[in-house]
Chains A and B, each alone.
Chain A
């Protein structure tokens, strides 16, 4: 039992260090990951009436939002 607790403690401290050194700078695990979906660009259409550039829409249809 004592060995298990000690092992668990060491593992937790190790994981804590790893989370700060590796996960935190990338924002892994605890932050919503960027989950790119394919988009289609309509050149020159712009997202709004007074904007330039392409207008992007998700190929699979609209996701998220209100």
Chain B
């Protein structure tokens, strides 16, 4: 006696009235429409003798990504491809097409495996009515954003069996709402409204479930409306890390700027030459030393050769101080360049006794006095700015990348920007 596993239900075989090709019925009593796998003619299967409702001549333009009869397992349930259709919409003069494979399991009903732009989405018709508005739709606690609406989703080709009436040329109004990796779709045709929910199926999972497709499928180029943003998790992490980094940056910047002594160690006027002597004994050593020069140059310039001499080692660092200021009025506009002040900063100057030897360059136009001020331990804003750049550059890049992905997604929507 055969066990339960040995029971085989024979498929019913019927021949196409149009081309005579054998017809295999896979969906059993659920099938309402069947399209010949060879010629595409469509039959109404509700009566015992199938009624030819659409005769189709000519070859198919496209081929299903997975042939009828292909079986695959998704979420532990085995599905069989029993129907296939190719649909299209025309938007701004461009035709977009996609495939819908109808999957059937006698215990779990129907699913649809959509193939669009080499992306895969598993779709299931939903019970109940989502709350939908112009910009949002809510279903089972999930909020979807409106993506696109088209009045002309056309059935281009159809193969196999379907649990509803379908034929080439059928037109429906379609609305899509997205919350990646989910998509909520509404189709309205001839007084009927059908809502369905889809989940993005990663390419690897689709191939693992249904095997190799009937034609090679290169990786997708465009972003699918419900494709998960691959940068989202990293962007979220980066945002948190960036905020922590910014908090640290703010704290250390305030500490740095607040702790600078900005101590005036020497100040005086200098004519042709002068030797300024001073002692550095700041708490930060080695540290910064700023030499400021301010003079009354007016359409003129002055240049000082400055040598900062460490008296103990008898070594000196050179500084050039140029003060140049020009201004005038030409072609109806005032102009000016330069300034009556300048400064030079040296880093890593240790404490000790120093002499600053200042000598005005003989060719300087300005022969008046210049005020020189020497400051120890000055705050330099370039460090907080540099640190801010370091802190924010990687998070900014990651966030930009995630945003660029979303931009690419929404460029295909009704909300695309120019």
- Check if B126 is an interface residue, CB within 8 A of chain A: no
Interface residues on B, range: 35 or more
Tell whether, in the assembled complex, residue A30 and residue B313 are in contact, meaning their CB atoms are under 8 Å apart.
Answer: no
Given A9-B238, A26-B348, A31-B288, verify A39-B307 contact (CB < 8 Å). Answer: yes
Tell whether, in the assembled complex, residue A16 and residue B249 are in contact, meaning their CB atoms are under 8 Å apart.
Answer: yes
Tell whether, in the assembled complex, residue B349 and residue A19 are in contact, meaning their CB atoms are under 8 Å apart.
Answer: no
CB distance from A27 to the nearest CB of B (A): 3
State in angstroms the CA–CA spacing of A13 and B393 once bound together. 10
State in angstroms the CA–CA spacing of A5 and B318 once bound together. 43
CB distance from A10 to the nearest CB of B (A): 7
Tell whether, in the assembled complex, residue B303 and residue A19 are in contact, meaning their CB atoms are under 8 Å apart.
Answer: no
State in angstroms the CA–CA spacing of A27 and B322 once bound together. 22
- Check if B278 is an interface residue, CB within 8 A of chain A: no
Tell whether, in the assembled complex, residue A26 and residue B316 are in contact, meaning their CB atoms are under 8 Å apart.
Answer: no
Interface residues on A, range: 35 or more
- Check if B347 is an interface residue, CB within 8 A of chain A: yes
- Check if B284 is an interface residue, CB within 8 A of chain A: yes
Which residue from chain A places its CB closest to the CB of B359 in the assembled complex?
A47
Interface residues of B in 365-409 (CB under 8 A from A): 377, 380, 382-384, 386-388, 390-391, 393-395, 398
Residues of B with C-beta under 8 A to A53: 275, 277, 355
Tell whether, in the assembled complex, residue A47 and residue B248 are in contact, meaning their CB atoms are under 8 Å apart.
Answer: no
Given A34-B308, A48-B359, verify A16-B387 contact (CB < 8 Å). Answer: yes
0/1 string, A1-20, CB within 8 A of B gives 1 = 01001101110110111011
State in angstroms the CA–CA spacing of A4 and B78 once bound together. 39
Interface centre among B241, B287, B320, B383 (most CB of A within 10 A): B383
State in angstroms the CA–CA spacing of A56 and B316 once bound together. 9
Tell whether, in the assembled complex, residue B252 and residue A25 are in contact, meaning their CB atoms are under 8 Å apart.
Answer: no
State in angstroms the CA–CA spacing of A48 and B248 once bound together. 50
Interface residues of A in 10-64 (CB under 8 A from B): 10, 12-13, 15-17, 19-21, 23-28, 30-41, 46-56, 58, 63-64
State in angstroms the CA–CA spacing of A7 and B48 once bound together. 68
Residues of B with C-beta under 8 A to A25: 256, 259-260, 284, 287-288, 377
State in angstroms the CA–CA spacing of A15 and B257 once bound together. 18
State in angstroms the CA–CA spacing of A51 and B303 once bound together. 18
Tell whether, in the assembled complex, residue B394 and residue A51 are in contact, meaning their CB atoms are under 8 Å apart.
Answer: no
**Extra A-B contacts (5), CB below 8 Å, given A13-B391, A23-B383, A33-B346:** A13-B245, A26-B347, A31-B345, A36-B313, A36-B315
A-B contact pairs, 20 of them (CB 8 A): A2-B233, A6-B234, A6-B241, A19-B386, A20-B387, A23-B383, A25-B259, A30-B380, A34-B347, A37-B315, A37-B317, A37-B318, A39-B307, A39-B314, A47-B273, A47-B357, A48-B272, A64-B305, A65-B303, A66-B320
